[in-house]
Amino acid sequence: DTGVSQNPRHKITKRGQNVTFRCDPISEHNRLYWYRQTLGQGPEFLTYFQNEAQLEKSRLLSDRFSAERPKGSFSTLEIQRTEQGDSAMYLCASSARQGAPPYEQYFGPGTRLTVT
């Protein structure tokens, strides 16, 4: 257990439905990241928050995807009008602002999304 929690762990939804995932990072970590991982591939970066500010978004994050981190604490990732291609593991990670290595991200267990 890294201290990063994600809910739900599994989500099955029908195509066209909206889904929302939650990530609770390690409390003192000000940086939060979302990644997506499909079978047989490594995680792909989606977006990054520093405190409540969303500082970077991947081109993978289409306009159907939105992420928030109100008050710089937990974060939510919402997918609207889900498509079968959205089926994947969605991973959240957090890290602390630090000036010296190691530069380490702590990952949660992920939310596995299946779109039928």
Nearer to another protein, 38 or 73 (CB): 38
Residues interacting with another protein, by CB under 8 A?
2, 4, 31, 33, 35, 40-45, 48, 50, 55-56, 58, 89, 91-93, 99, 101-110, 112
CA atoms within a 13 Å half-sphere pointing along the CA-CB vector of 67: 31
Shortest separation between residue 66's beta carbon and another protein, angstroms: 18
If one counts every other C-beta atom within 10 angstroms of the C-beta of residue 81, the result is 10
Nearer to another protein, 17 or 62 (CB): 62
| Intra-chain end-to-end CA distance of the chain, in Å | 30
- What is the distance between the alpha carbons of residues 43 and 80, in angstroms, rounded to a whole number? 21
Shortest separation between residue 8's beta carbon and another protein, angstroms: 14
Nearer to another protein, 70 or 99 (CB): 99
- Give backbone dihedrals phi and psi of 23, rounded to 5 degrees, phi first: -130, 130
List the strands of the sheet with 5-7, edge to edge: 5-7, 19-24, 75-79, 65-68
Shortest separation between residue 72's beta carbon and another protein, angstroms: 15
Nearer to another protein, 76 or 80 (CB): 76
